[in-house]
Amino acid sequence: VQSRPPAEIGAPLEAIETPALVVELDALERNMVRMARFASAAGVRLRPHAKTHKCPAIALKQIAHGAVGQCVQTVGEAEALVKGGVTDVLVTNEVVGTGKLRRLAALASEASVGLCFDHPDQVDAASQAARDAGVTLRALVEIDVGMERCGVQPGAAARDLAQRIAEAPNLAFEGLQAYHGSAQHFESHSAREQAIDRAVAAVSRTLEAFQAAGLPCETVGGAGTGTFQFEARSGVYNEIQVGSYIFMDTEYARLEDGEGKRFRTFEHSLFVLSSVLSVPAADRAIVDAGWKSYSGERGYPWVHGSDGIEVVGVSDEHGKLRLGADTPRLRLGGKVALIPGHCDPTVNLHDWFIGLRNGRVEELWPITARGASR
Ligand SMILES: *Cc1c(COP(=O)(O)O)cnc(C)c1O
């Protein structure tokens, strides 16, 4: 059930009911164009991750900017995107359980659908579900390239699983999923680069094993916003799965780039818009957005465009701001834009994106995969 949108098209920013999730459309579009140009110049396919935005309207915009399709993390996200008009989705995850595999196979009659594997039992189960539905699912072997989450070991173990997939009815072996998630947030540029160098070596070793076994590998996918330039120039990855670059968050803004400066390749385009609810003291203001409006596992949000104001406390429905000595006292009802610590789980707390341009509401996009964790 979607709640009523917090604004109407054409309304000025001041009329938006808060807390609300706001996207600056100019910045969003510049981020999309920047990444699309990078991928095309590097000669890699761009398959952005929809777990970031959970929204078919944004997915279709990315595809209009040259993306080949979308990544998702759950079957529910895949369903929401296909319902919204996306025709190519890859679940960058293992899918376990007959019910979920049946749902995924049902989608494959409307769209091209892929998923990842790291266990032979799962190959048999997916093959059966695809056969029952009369469809073919694209299948990638996920290898662990250093993250120690899902994935088989690179080399012989990956080859054996790929062979099993190649022999399984109604599965089409497509290639390798080789995402290094933990490397995305290593603060130092060289630490990220070294982690991806090791991932590339693991991928190369696996590709040699595939070749020796006569297994063609069409896709090697991976990369996120923190490392995509390394995968893209590796010569082995050919599909990048970047997600957060469209929005940016404080976690990514803290990274160091190659020159020892803060990572500013992409602009902040996502904000939780709040309103001043109380001004109890000269150096303190309270806004109406707390932990129910943005995720907290990466710390307090930053206040956008206002150096003298800092978030110093958060509770469920309140954010406490400390004002600098020179900061003018905030007025009741005044709007404060907060930059979330982590964009993906923040988006998951909202029903609508409000697209703003020049201070006016231009788009209202329902976040239809919000809460689609199954
Ligand atoms: C989250 C994720 C991404 C995207 O990462 P960002 O850091 O948001 O760019 C890519 N691939 C997989 C498998 C992921 O889980």
What are 37-77's pLDDT values in tens digits? 999 999 999 999 999 999 999 999 999 999 999 999 999 99
Cα 44 to Cα 240: distance, rounded to the nearest angstrom: 7
What one-character DSSP code corresponds to residue 73? Answer: S
The arithmetic mean of pLDDT across residues 124-131, rounded, is 98
Q: Six-digit token pair at 248? A: 């940016």
Q: Closest ligand 1 atom, CA of 177? A: 13
**Distance in Å, CA 92 to ligand 1 centroid:** 9
The two structure tokens encoding residue 187? 């603060």
> Which protein residue's CA is at the shortest distance from atom 1 of ligand 1?
243
Residue 173 has a pLDDT of 98
Question: 102 with 76: CB under 8 angstroms?
Answer: no
Distance CA 260, CA 253 (A): 13
In angstroms, what is the span from residue 50 Cα to ligand 1's centroid?
Answer: 9
Tokens 């996200």 correspond to 77
Residue nearest atom 3 in ligand 1 by C-alpha distance: 224
Structure tokens at 131: 């056969």
- CA 300/CA 322 separation, integer angstroms: 13
pLDDT in tens, 129-167: 999 999 999 999 999 999 999 999 999 999 999 999 999
The answer, yes or no, to whether residue 328 has pLDDT greater than 90, is no
Q: Which atom of ligand 1 has the smallest separation from the CA of 185?
A: 7
Question: Would you state the pLDDT for residue 205?
Answer: 98
Average pLDDT over residues 275-293: 96
Per-residue 3-state assignment (H helix, E strand, C coil) for 181-210:
CHHHHCCCHHHHHHHHHHHHHHHHHHHHHH
CA angle 267, 268, 274 (to 5 degrees): 160
- DSSP β-ladder status, 20-24 and 319-323: unpaired
Mean per-residue pLDDT of the chain: 97
Ligand 1: atom nearest CA of 52 is 8
> Whole-prediction pTM value?
0.97
Ligand 1: residues within 6 Å at CB?
49, 51-52, 71, 73, 92, 179, 181, 184, 224-226, 241-244
Query: Residue 1: what pLDDT?
Result: 52
Task: Give percent of the chain above pLDDT 70.
Answer: 99
Contact indicator for 189, 258 with CB cutoff of 8 Å? yes
Average pLDDT over residues 259-280: 95
